[in-house]
Amino acid sequence: MRNLLSHFFFFSFAIGLLVPFVVYPLYQTVCMSFFENDTFTIKYYSEVMGSPESLNAILHNLIWIIVHLPVSIVLGLLFAVLLQNRRIKGSSIIKAIIFIGMVIPMVVGALLIRFSFERGIGIVPLLFKSLGFTSLDKTWTAYPDTALLSLIIGSIWLWTGFNMIVFSSGLATIPKEYGEAAMVDGASSLQTFFKIIIPLLRPSFLIALLTTFLYELKIFDIVYVATKGGPGDASMVLAVLVYIFAFRDYAIGKATVAAVLLIAICLIPSIEIAKLVTKRA
């Protein structure tokens, strides 16, 4: 009995914080999406699912994933492989530069995106102008056709460092002899890379994939600070839409529906991560 009490004590602080401020609100979010004045309704769901602005936001999250996921993972892997090469002098400094996107607050990341894509102020429009693409010499975040793209490119810049570190730690666990043995057997570097290194990096791929996917769904700060989802709703995403529904439209029912959708999409990768993290110890 005493034992049980002392065991419970170890969990009491965590429970005391989690139950009122995480577990109960999570339950409430789901409840609020289904109830209007204590009567069950799916009205909010039909409102949200039928409105073009939600479909538009979901589409933007999808575009974000389609572009950002492969690019940030391939770049992260390439940088990790390149920069583990001992012949490169100062590779740790370059690694630190790429990783800094992970350290800077997302709000600063958002300002940096606006800054870098602003005509006359930032480097990106200048770059396209000097390459002859004069139509892209404009403030990207201010035009519907480029706003989302500029945010996605910026988020690749911010996030690739994470994937690079994941693959670097994965590579560090692969014994050098594996690659060397394959080379002695006459395999080319490319063959070694695709047939030996890549399969051994499977756990790193899984972590990078799941974490990046969640990051793309949770995108809020970058969009809210850089464009507020605009111009119009050209860069609106689901997480910002939750905020817009709740605090611009005061439509709490619709906001919780959007939140539930977000939870539902995040649930599968979250459970996969939970399995990975729980199993391994």
Partner 1 sequence: MIKKFVVGLTLNVIAYIIGVVWCLPLIGLLMASVRPYNEIVSGWWNLQEFHITFDNFIKAWYSEPFPLGQGFINSFIVTIPSTLIPLMAGAFAAYGFSRFNFPLRDYFFMMLVVFYAMPLQAIALPVFRILNSLKLLNTFPGLILVHSAWGVSFATIFLRNYFQTLPREVEEAAKVDGASDFQIFFKIIFPMSLPGVISVLILQFSWVWSDFFFALLYIHSPEKYLATQSLVMMGGVYQISWNLLAAGSILVTLVPVIFYALLQKHFIRGMSGWVTGKG
What minimum distance in Å lies between the beta carbon of 139 and partner 1? 10
Distance CA 64, CA 48 (A): 21
What minimum distance in Å lies between the beta carbon of 66 and partner 1? 20
What is the 3-state composition of the chain as percent helix, strand, coil, each rounded to the nearest 5? 80, 0, 20
A 10 A CB-CB count for 227 gives 25
What minimum distance in Å lies between the beta carbon of 196 and partner 1? 18
E-assigned strands of 3-97? 35-36, 39-40
Distance CA 113, CA 117 (A): 6
Cβ proximity to partner 1: between 109 and 234 the closer is: 109
Cβ proximity to partner 1: between 63 and 200 the closer is: 200
Cβ proximity to partner 1: between 51 and 270 the closer is: 270
What minimum distance in Å lies between the beta carbon of 265 and partner 1? 9
Tell me how far CA of residue 72 lies from CA of 30, 110, 130, 163, in angstroms. Answer: 33, 17, 26, 7
Cβ proximity to partner 1: between 148 and 241 the closer is: 241
Phi, psi dihedral angles at 35 (to 5 degrees): -125, 140
Cβ proximity to partner 1: between 236 and 239 the closer is: 239
